[in-house]
Structure 1
Amino acid sequence: MAEPYASPGWSGLAIDLLIHVVQLLELPEALAFRAVCPLWRSASTAAAGVPRTCQTPWLVSLVTDPLPREKQSRRACDPSVSFKFLNVLDEKTYQVSLPQGRGKAVALCGASHGWLVLANELSNLVLYDPFAMTTIPLPPITGFSKCIQGVYGDDGGGNLEGYRYLFYRGGDATYDVVAPGMTFYDKLVLSGSPSAAAGAIALVVHTAGKQLSFARVGGAGSSSAWRLLASMIERATRDSFADVIHHRGSRFYALTMKGVLVSFNFSRRNKPKRETIIARDDKDVITRYLVSAPWGHLLQIRVILVTDRKKGVRVEIDRLDLKGRRMVGLSPTKALRGHTVFLGQNSPGVLSADKFPELRPDCIYFTTPWLKNKIAYGKPYNRWRSGVKVYDLKKQTLEHSFQCTDESYGRASNPQEVWFTPSQLPYKTFTASLPSLYDSH
């Protein structure tokens, strides 16, 4: 009697077949493929184009062109909704698609704790983990009840036709459902991963930097609407929020263009405690950023416009002295302690150049910023344009790094690029779905 046929395991596949499989995969699956075993790692190396690491930030931008035809047979993803991931180490680009049925993405509004922040076709915010292919919806834009009002049809069906901005005096204009997603949100940051048991707090800067709102995401106490945290919408106020960050425990910090630093303590669940740490800094800047350094300090990075055409800007770095309620200036050559910083709409990435020698130490990689200060416009020495710029703190120079989008830049919509650092590779998700993926081809 013949012995029953034993089917070979996945680890026993021929390497040429494995190479064919990895060439059919998008970036998240290809990275997980590489991590399975030495044979699969050899196959991914032979296939070429699969990066060796995803520990460094990726530059992510929206893609308007659909995936190539050979990629469109994959049932799991929608080729019309995709992103371009650029690896800063080898400057190669990879395409990643949203799962089918998850809606469209019209804008990138941030990246935090391994999640991209997207505005969808209804201008609602959605968290997306591209390396696990999971999405988490945030409260809808109509949840900003003091800012946005939905406009519904009178055909009896109650279909959403657009939105009305409530903060415009005498303005009854109705905007289509896509428009607010391109202009309403400045930046969103998380206190942690929303997939954790306790969930996370999402803090968003919106309304042209004039307001802060928050919501609880994940866990048992998820919010159904946004709660207004701070507002500078009054006409007499010429300030706006430049940046927000989560730093230590339950605290967020918000920094304005005029240098006002405010903390929000969320240790009380229903009533965050607000405290003004620094009342004002009169230095005229293009923009400001907050950085939570690995060694525990909260840093302020000021970008100042200069008239030197070769330099374009000057960057100054300060450390928060919480006890003295002041910012302490740091030496540009010592402020980052040999680290590299990635700034933009993302929660800042801070990496040691010793661990990643391909990166430039004591340098800041900037994506296109929100230019809220009008002095930056129309100046011949303004070098803020789309794409990534690198500021060398030792040389005090702003240099072009690599191009992501075209060179035009304005205030009509969000900057469409963010730094994204994945939290982990979806090893279990990938290996569970691989057989059906392989069978379909």
Structure 2
Amino acid sequence: MAAAGFKRQKTCPDMAEKNCAELPTELLGLILQKLTLPDHIRLSCVCKSWNQAVREKAWRHKPDSPWLMLPGEEDISAKFLSFSENRTYSIPLPLPEIRRRVCIGSSHGWLITVYDMSEMHLLNPVTGVQIQLPSITTLPYVCDYAEVDRPLFLYKANLSLPPHADGSGGFTVILLHNPFRLYDEDYDDFSNMAIAKVGDNSWTSLPRTSHGSIADIIPHKGQLYGVDVGGVLHVWDHHHLTSGPKSILEIRFYCGMTKLLVESLNGKLYMQYKGLYYNTFMAIRLDTDNPEFNPEDDLGDNVIFVDSNTSFSVSATKFPELGGNCIYFTDDAYFDFDHLKHKPREMGVFDVKNGSMKPIPNLRQRLHWPPPIWIIPTWLVHTIAYIKLPTALA
């Protein structure tokens, strides 16, 4: 209600646009750098001049804590749980329908998705930019993806470097899969790793390692690290992946558990061991100079996020809405995708110090397919046309 003695004035669109345009670009940039991603998007949609300034300058937004991607109510949308704003956004995504895709990787704010008819895409869910990747059928031992045991065949993908805003760049997509799910006597001739770059027409299968299938991979200090199912660590040169691992660290540890690699804030490499049928974690710090694992019960400022396809760490100090010395997890039973398609997923927050478990806050009733995945949202838009604000962010 207007204050006594004052009459509310209506502002015409042309006047509002003129007032927006009068704000110096440098001042607008200072404001944008203080805003989180949702407010960054809202500001860009105030008027055309601000939208243009955001696109041309591509200011970085204030880092936002990770989002949890959940199934949307419609086939073409997904929900994203934001801890910083304590709410869920519904964001429409480009075709093919996101409800018919499985996300097998989350890296640098981009998702690697697999459509049920074999197509693969690199997708930024915030900007809507999507890049076609080679089809699964271009792997040398896959003729018909429909005949593959799909829920068990593909389980993880990662990016060697951050893509540009338009999805271009010199990065490599590294794919982990299970050739033995083809039920073919010749699967032993192939590695469970393949690579491709944007623009490639097919996947390139990497040489098979001598110790067994790779369970997880992560770029670390300019190299690619991978741990196999037996707990042996392999190291590749980023620029010579097709030559095979350049070194192998013979460290076998907790062979019967799920293994996930994650880089800490100070550049240390951790291996997260998770029980296959119960949610308990072991945080193991790897000393690459002295090949041994060092169990940790204090992650310091690190907050670790893991699921079957993703693992990364963020700062508890920078994001006070998160619990410090904790591991945020979602169910990692990728081998039970079909059986769990219509059942609730196990999700929670594991306290490394005391071993306790608590639910993820603000996670209300939800659908169960496709499986959830963590993502660090990014929004660099200098190559994108005029931005339309998703209704969920209005």
TM-score by length of 1: 0.65
Deviation at 1:366, TM superposition (A): 0.4
Task: Give CA-to-partner distance per residue, 1:297-352, whole Å, 9 cap, x none.
Answer: 1111112479xxxxx5442222222222222223x02xx21221111145433111
Aligned to 1:192: 161
Contact 2:121-2:130 at 8 Å conserved across structures: yes
Counterparts of 1:57 and 1:257, CA distance in 2: 28
AA aligned to 1:122 is M
Determine which of 147, 171, 180 is the counterpart of 1:164. Answer: 147
> 2:271 & 2:13 partners in 1: Cα distance?
63
| Residue 272 of structure 1, CA deviation | 4.5
Between structures 1 and 2, the one with greater helix share: 2
Q: What is the CA–CA distance in structure 2 between the aligned matches of 1:420 and 1:364, rounded to whole Å?
A: 15
- C-alpha distance in structure 1 between counterparts of 2:43 and 2:305, whole Å: 26
1:213 aligns with 2:206: no
Shift of 1:90: 4.4
Matched, 1:140 2:111: no
Compared with structure 1, are the counterparts of its residues 29 and 357 closer, same or farther at alpha carbon in structure 2 (3 Å cutoff)?
A: closer
Aligned with residue 259 of structure 1, among 218, 227, 231: 231
Partner of 2:17: 10
Partner of 1:24: none
Bigger strand fraction: 1
2:319 alignment counterpart? 356
Deviation at 1:36, TM superposition (A): 6.8
- Once the 2 structures are TM-superposed, how far is the Cα of residue 433 of structure 1 from its aligned partner? 4.2
Does the 8 Å contact 1:266/1:273 carry over to 2? no
Counterpart of 1:420? 375
Paired AA for residue 103 in structure 1:
P
Matches within 5 A, 1:283-362: 283-285=255-257, 287-304=258-275, 313-330=279-296, 332-333=297-298, 336-362=299-325
Structure-to-structure mapping, 1:272-283, within 5 angstroms: 272-283=244-255
The aligned residue for residue 354 of structure 2 is 395
Structure 1 residue 85, shift from structure 2 partner? 0.8
- Report the AA paired with residue 56 of structure 1: S
Alignment counterpart, residue 32 of structure 1, candidates 36, 41, 51: 41
Q: How does 1:370-381 map to 2 (within 5 A)?
A: 370=333
The C-alpha deviation readout for 1:96-155, integer Å capped at 9, x for no partner, is: 1123xx323321212111111111242221011122221111111111122x113xxxxx
Give RMSD over aligned pairs: 4.0
Q: Does structure 1 residue 61 correspond to structure 2 residue 70?
A: yes
For the 8 Å contact 2:264–2:313, the answer to whether it is kept is yes
Q: What is aligned with 2:220? A: 247
Cα distance change on mapping 1:415 and 1:82 into 2, 3 Å: closer
Partner of 1:225: 202
Distance 1:295 1:28 in 2: 25
For 1:149, the aligned partner's letter is C
Q: Counterpart in 1 of 2:115?
A: 120
SS in 2 for 1:32: helix
State the one-letter code of the partner of 1:420: I
* In structure 1, distance between residues paired with 2:334 and 2:126: 31
Counterpart position of 2:78 = 83
How far the C-alpha of 1:282 sits from its partner, in A, is: 4.5
Offset at 1:61?
A: 2.2
Residue 54 of structure 2: aligned partner = none
Q: How many residues align?
A: 335
Per-residue displacement from partner, 1:354-405 (whole Å, max 9, x unpaired)? 11111100000001113669xxx9xxxxxx9614211001121122225477
Q: Secondary structure at the match of 1:295?
A: coil
For residues 7 and 109 of structure 1, what CA distance do their matches in structure 2 show?
Answer: 46
Distance in 2 between residues matched to 1:262 and 1:103, nearest whole Å: 36
Identity fraction in percent: 23
1:365 is the counterpart of 2:328: yes
- 1:212-265 CA distance string (max 9 Å, x none): 3332323xxx43211222558x9xx9x65432111121x211223331211221
Paired with 1:209 and 1:131, the residues of 2 have a C-alpha distance of 36
Q: Distance in 2 between matches of 1:299 and 1:260?
A: 14
Q: Unpaired runs of 5+ in structure 2? A: 1-11, 21-35, 51-60, 182-190
C-alpha separation between the residues in 1 aligned to 2:244 and 2:326?
35
Kindly provide the amino acid, as one letter, of the partner of residue 264 in structure 1.
W
Partner Cα separation in structure 1 for residue 315 and residue 37 of structure 2: 24
